[in-house]
Structure 1
C-alpha cells in the first residue's frame, strides 16, 4: 500500500499531528521494511517530529536496535538531538536499552553528550536505576565526575534520590565522595536532606565527611534535622556528627527542629545533649522558635527540660511575645501557666497584648486580658493595644478592647487618637464604632487635622458623610489652616467638594497661606473641581497670599485649559498679583507660550507691566524664552519698552547672556544703543563672550552703515555746491 501511494506521488515528508513524517512514524513502530522502502524512495533521514526527535532518536528511545543499526547504516546523524537536547545515546540510556546503548557506542556515539538539563547518558541511566547500562557506560569510560546544570555529579544525584545500589556501584568505581553541586551539597548532605537513612549509612561507612556544609552552612545533621528525619539524625549523631554545628543563620539542629515542630527529633537531640538555650543569629532559642510557630507540644517539652522561659531574641521577644504576635493561643496559655512575664516587651517595645491586638488575634487578646495584661501599655511609638488594632482595621478586636475599658482618647504616634487613626486609614465601620462609644469628634492628629479634614483629604466620602451627620465642625482647620473643603479641593475629590458645599461649607475659607479652594484647585489643574466651585459661586478674583487670583496662578503654571475655563467664567484678564504681574506677564516669565497665546487671543494688555516695570516681552527675554518672545513680537509688543531700571528686552537678554535671544531681537530691529538708567547699553551689560561677539559684530555693522551714510551725504552736498557754482 505504501509503495502504491508513493508511486502515485504521495508526499514523503507530509506530517501527522505529532509532526512525524512517515519515516519517523515507521521508525517509532519498528517497521524496518517500511523504513527501508521510504529511504529507498528518498525520504529525508533527518526529519524531526514536533518534539525535535529524528527517526534515529525515536528508534533509540524505543530500544529498537535493528532499526537503529539500519538508520546508522543509511547515514543517520549520530549526535542529532531532540527538543530536550537528548541524543540517541542519552535517550536509549534513559530507558535502559543496554543493547542499543552498546551499538551506539560501537558506532562512536559521544559518551559525554548532554541534554538540556546537563545530563549525560550515565546520569540518565543512574537516575532511573538501570544498573547494567550504568556498568556498561562506566566500562566504556563515562566520566564519573561530569556535572548536570545544577552542578551535581551522578553520585550526588543518586544519593539525593536514594538509589543505594547505584550509589554503591559509583563509589566502587571511584566516584568523588566529596563532590558538591552548585548549592554546595555533597552526596551525604543530599541524602540526609531527603532522609535516605540507608544511603547516609553507606556514605558514612565509606568515610564521607560528616561536617561538610552546603552553601547555606548546613551539615548533613542540620539538613536532616531541618526536614525532621529523626532516624537519619539519630544515625548521624551515633556516627559522631557535631551536635552544635550551625547553618548560615546560626541555627543548630535543635533550633531548626523546634521551629519545624518535630517534637520527637527535638527530644532525641536533647537526649544527645543539645544546648537547650543556644541561639541562632537572630537571637532565638529553641523555645522562642517553637513558640513563634505555635508548636505547643514542642514548647512544653523544652520547658520540661528546663528551657529559659524569659530568653529573648535580638528584637527582645520572649516565647510569650513571639507566640502572641502570631496568635498561637494554646501556646500563649501554656507559657502563661508556666509563669511567663505578661508585660515583657518585644518587637518595637510592644507587649504580647499590643502585638496580638495589632494583628487582630482576638482570642489571644481575650486570653491575655483575662490574665491581667495592661490594657494601656504602649510600644516605642506610644501606641496602645487599641491604637494598634485600629491601624489595620481589626474591628472585633477593637470592640473587645473597648468593652474591657480601653482609653478611647489615648494618644499614639505624634499625638494621634484612635478616631484620627481610623479616619486616616479609611476604616468607616471603625469610625462609627468609636463615635458610638463616645470618641471626641474634634480630636486632632499630628498635623492638626480633625477626623473630618483627614477623611476629606483622603477622599473617603461615606466617612465624611457619617462625620457630618454626627455633627463634625465643617469649618475646623488643620495646622496648615485648611478646612475640609480646602483639603478636598487640593486633592481633586470633586464628589467630596460637592458634598461639603451641599452641607454649607464656606466657599471662601482660606488656609494659612490665604489660599481658597478655588485657587488650590487651579494650582493643581483640577478642572472639574474648579468648574464645580465656580458653579457654586466661588469668587474668581479670590487671591492667595501672593495676591494671585486663580487665573494668575493657572497662567504662572502654564495650565492653559484651566486659564481658558476661568476666562470663560469671567475671570479678570488684567488682575495682578502682589508683584504687579498680570496673567500674561506671569505666563511669559515662565515661558508658557500656549497660555500666552490664549491670553493674547482673549485681549490681554500686551504692554502691562509688573512691579519692576517689566512687560511680558522684557520678562520673557530676561528668562530666554525664545518662542514666547517671537510670539509677543509677532503680536506687536513694543521692542523698546523699558523696565524700572530702564532695561529694554535687548539689554535684559544681554545681561543674562542669552546669545540666541540677542540675535533674534537685533534681527527684529532692537536699538543697539538703548541704555538703562545707569547709562549702560546692551554691550556694556553683556555677561557672555558669545553674546559680546554678537553685539560687537552688530555694532561694527552699525558703524559701517553710519560711515557709509555720512560719506553719501558729504558727496551729495559737494554735488549740490558744484551745481550751484555752475549756475552762477
Structure 2
C-alpha cells in the first residue's frame, strides 16, 4: 500500500534497526500522543527513521518540542513551500531555544508577537503561575534565558514590553529566573521597569529580583533608575520583601541606595518587626536597621515592640542587642493583654532571656491584664529555673492575680512538688486564698483560666456562697498526693495554730478539705 493513500495523521517507521514496524495514528488520542513523545525523545538515538507529517496536524508542535534541532530543521525543510501556519510552533521553538528554527519560521512569515501554548510535558515553565495562559516567543525565551534568541527576536521587531495574560512582561520573566544577561539586553532595548503584574504575586521587576535574592539584577535595575519604593499594590516594597526573606546583602544594597527603612508592612509591622520574624540571619539585619535609625520602641498592631517579638521567638542575640541600645523600653506592655517582654520570656520557659531582661532592669512585678506577674507565668509553665531567677531578683512571691491566685496556688494546681517547696522556702503564704463569688450568670472562663473545670449545673443551681481556696485545698481537689502531703507538713511546721484549727473542725476523710470549703469545691470541681 502506497504511503500517500494511508488515511492517517502521522505514519512512523520506528526504532528497531532489526525489525521494521509501522505505527499508524488514526487520531490524536492521549495514548498516541504519549507514544509520539517517546518517539521524538529517542530520535537522536535511533539508527533508522522516517516521518511523514500532515502539515495541518497538531502533532507538528510535538515534533518541535521533543525532537532534536537537526531533526526539526530537516523535517521543516521537507515541507518546502507547503501551506502551514508557522505561528503554531513558533512559541514551542522559542522555548527550546532553536534559533535556526525560529529564523526559518520568521522567514516563512511567522508573527514575532504571536501567542501560543505548548504542552506542559518536560518543558513546562519553571514558575507555574506564568504558565496558565498563552505566551509570546520573547516572553518564554526570556524565561529560559536564551540570550541570543531574545536578541534575534528583538532585532526582528518583537515588542520588548509585550505582557502576558497575567501582566508579566519579558523583563519580569527574565528577572524571576535570574537571567542577568537577558535582563541587561532587555534594558538596553528600553524595557519598562515600573510595570506591575496583574496578579498579587507579581510586582515590579525590582520587587521580583529582591524577593528571590538576585543581588546582581537588583544592582543592575537600581543603576538603571528603577523606583526603589514601588513593590506590590503599594503594600510591600522591595526592601520589605528582602527583609522578610532574610537577604542581608540585598537589604544592605537597598538601604545604601536610599530605601525607606521606616515604612510599615501593610500598616502593621515595621521593618524591624519583619527582620525579627523572618527567622533567617536575624541579628545582622536588625543591627543594620538599628544603625539606620529604625525606632526599636515602635509598636505593631497588637502593641508589641521589637523586644516583645525577639523575646517571644527566643532570639537571644537580638534581645541582647536591643537591651544594650539606649532608650529601649524594657517594661513596655502590649495593648490588649498588657504583657511585657519579661512575661513572654517567662511564659516561654526561657531562663536565659529572663536573666538577661532582669539584669537589664526589667520590672519583675508588673502585672498583665489578668493581674499575673512574670512569677505567675513561670510557675504556670513549671519552670523551676526561671522561678528561682525571679525570686532571687526580689519578685513578690505572694502577688495575687485577678482572682486572688498566687504562684503557690498555681504550683499546687499543677502538682509540682519541687516548685511548691521552692516557693515555701522563699516565704510563700500557705494560707493565701483565692476568693470568688459564684453568682448566677457568672462567666465560667474566670475559673478556667487556671484550668478549673466547673460543673455545668453549678451556676444553674444558684450557688451564691463565697468560696476561698488555699493551695492545700487545690492540691487535695486535684488528688496530687505529693504536693498535698508537703503542704500539710509545711502548714503544721510554719503555722501550728492552723493545724490545731483544722483538728477542731470536721474535714472530709477522702480529700482532707475543710467542711466550709467542701460544699463549694464539690459543686465546682468535676
2:470 corresponds, among 643, 648, 653, to 648
Distance in 2 (CA, whole Å) between partners of 1:623 and 1:575 is 23
- Secondary structure at the counterpart of residue 515 of structure 1: coil
Q: Find out whether 1:539 has 2:329 as its counterpart.
A: yes
Q: Which has the higher contact order (CA 8 A, sep 6+)?
A: 2
| TM-superposition CA deviations, 1:585-630 (whole Å, max 9, x none) | 1122233333223222322211112233321222344456565445
Question: Judging changes above 3 Å, is the alpha-carbon distance between structure 1 residues 275 and 554 closer, same or farther for their aligned structure 2 residues?
Answer: same
1:404 corresponds, among 189, 208, 214, to 189
- Secondary structure at the counterpart of residue 586 of structure 1: helix
Q: Find out whether 1:384 has 2:169 as its counterpart.
A: yes
Distance in 2 (CA, whole Å) between partners of 1:338 and 1:627 is 88
- 1:321 alignment counterpart: 91
Kept in 2, the 8 Å contact 1:296–1:331? The answer is no
Distance in 1 (CA, whole Å) between partners of 2:256 and 2:23 is 70
Kept in 2, the 8 Å contact 1:408–1:418? The answer is yes
Kept in 2, the 8 Å contact 1:513–1:544? The answer is yes
Distance in 2 (CA, whole Å) between partners of 1:411 and 1:644 is 61
- 2:207 alignment counterpart: 420
Question: Judging changes above 3 Å, is the alpha-carbon distance between structure 1 residues 576 and 295 closer, same or farther for their aligned structure 2 residues?
Answer: same
2:72 corresponds, among 286, 294, 298, to 298
Question: Judging changes above 3 Å, is the alpha-carbon distance between structure 1 residues 592 and 289 closer, same or farther for their aligned structure 2 residues?
Answer: farther
| TM-superposition CA deviations, 1:396-446 (whole Å, max 9, x none) | 211222232322121134152222211111222222222222222212336
Kept in 2, the 8 Å contact 1:648–1:674? The answer is no
Shift of 1:292: 4.7
| 1:583-602 alignment runs, 5 A limit | 583-602=374-393
Distance in 1 (CA, whole Å) between partners of 2:392 and 2:139 is 65
Question: Judging changes above 3 Å, is the alpha-carbon distance between structure 1 residues 617 and 382 closer, same or farther for their aligned structure 2 residues?
Answer: farther
Distance in 2 (CA, whole Å) between partners of 1:631 and 1:249 is 76
Q: What is the TM-score of this pair, normalised by structure 2?
A: 0.73
Shift of 1:511: 2.0
Shift of 1:564: 0.9
Moved more, 297-306 or 613-622: 297-306
- 2:256 alignment counterpart: 469
- 1:563 alignment counterpart: 354
Distance in 1 (CA, whole Å) between partners of 2:238 and 2:296 is 20
- 1:682 alignment counterpart: 521
Distance in 1 (CA, whole Å) between partners of 2:350 and 2:74 is 70
Distance in 2 (CA, whole Å) between partners of 1:447 and 1:561 is 40
- For structure 1, which runs of at least 5 residues remain unmatched after alignment? 1-220, 280-284, 312-317, 688-728
Distance in 1 (CA, whole Å) between partners of 2:137 and 2:416 is 64
Q: How many residues align?
A: 439
- 2:32 alignment counterpart: 250
Shift of 1:286: 4.5
Shift of 1:277: 6.7
2:513 corresponds, among 667, 672, 681, to 672
Q: Find out whether 1:508 has 2:279 as its counterpart.
A: no
- 1:455 alignment counterpart: 242
| TM-superposition CA deviations, 1:340-383 (whole Å, max 9, x none) | 45332433223322222122212222223333434444445442
Shift of 1:475: 0.8
- 2:114 alignment counterpart: 343
- 2:219 alignment counterpart: 432
Distance in 2 (CA, whole Å) between partners of 1:295 and 1:371 is 21
Question: Judging changes above 3 Å, is the alpha-carbon distance between structure 1 residues 445 and 586 closer, same or farther for their aligned structure 2 residues?
Answer: farther
Runs of 4+ in 1 over 6 A off after TM superposition: 245-248, 263-267, 274-279
Shift of 1:494: 1.4
- 2:465 alignment counterpart: none
Kept in 2, the 8 Å contact 1:641–1:649? The answer is yes
Kept in 1, the 8 Å contact 2:475–2:483? The answer is no
Distance in 2 (CA, whole Å) between partners of 1:252 and 1:423 is 40
| 1:522-533 alignment runs, 5 A limit | 522-533=311-322
- Secondary structure at the counterpart of residue 348 of structure 1: coil
Kept in 1, the 8 Å contact 2:472–2:487? The answer is no
Distance in 2 (CA, whole Å) between partners of 1:420 and 1:571 is 40
Question: Judging changes above 3 Å, is the alpha-carbon distance between structure 1 residues 456 and 654 closer, same or farther for their aligned structure 2 residues?
Answer: same
Kept in 2, the 8 Å contact 1:589–1:619? The answer is yes
- 1:489 alignment counterpart: 276
Structure (1/2) with the larger strand percentage: 2
Question: Judging changes above 3 Å, is the alpha-carbon distance between structure 1 residues 256 and 338 closer, same or farther for their aligned structure 2 residues?
Answer: farther
Kept in 1, the 8 Å contact 2:311–2:341? The answer is yes
| TM-superposition CA deviations, 1:2-48 (whole Å, max 9, x none) | xxxxxxxxxxxxxxxxxxxxxxxxxxxxxxxxxxxxxxxxxxxxxxx
Question: Judging changes above 3 Å, is the alpha-carbon distance between structure 1 residues 674 and 580 closer, same or farther for their aligned structure 2 residues?
Answer: farther
- 1:236 alignment counterpart: 20
| TM-superposition CA deviations, 1:479-534 (whole Å, max 9, x none) | 16222222223336212222222222212122222222122111111111111111
Distance in 2 (CA, whole Å) between partners of 1:275 and 1:639 is 96
Which structure has the larger Rg over C-alpha atoms?
1
Q: Find out whether 1:607 has 2:394 as its counterpart.
A: no
- Secondary structure at the counterpart of residue 50 of structure 2: helix
Kept in 2, the 8 Å contact 1:651–1:681? The answer is no
Shift of 1:638: 2.6
- 1:371 alignment counterpart: 156
Distance in 2 (CA, whole Å) between partners of 1:340 and 1:674 is 97
Structure (1/2) with the larger helix percentage: 1
- 1:166 alignment counterpart: none
| 1:154-233 alignment runs, 5 A limit | 225=14, 228=15, 231-232=17-18
Question: Judging changes above 3 Å, is the alpha-carbon distance between structure 1 residues 310 and 333 closer, same or farther for their aligned structure 2 residues?
Answer: closer
Q: What is the TM-score of this pair, normalised by structure 1?
A: 0.54
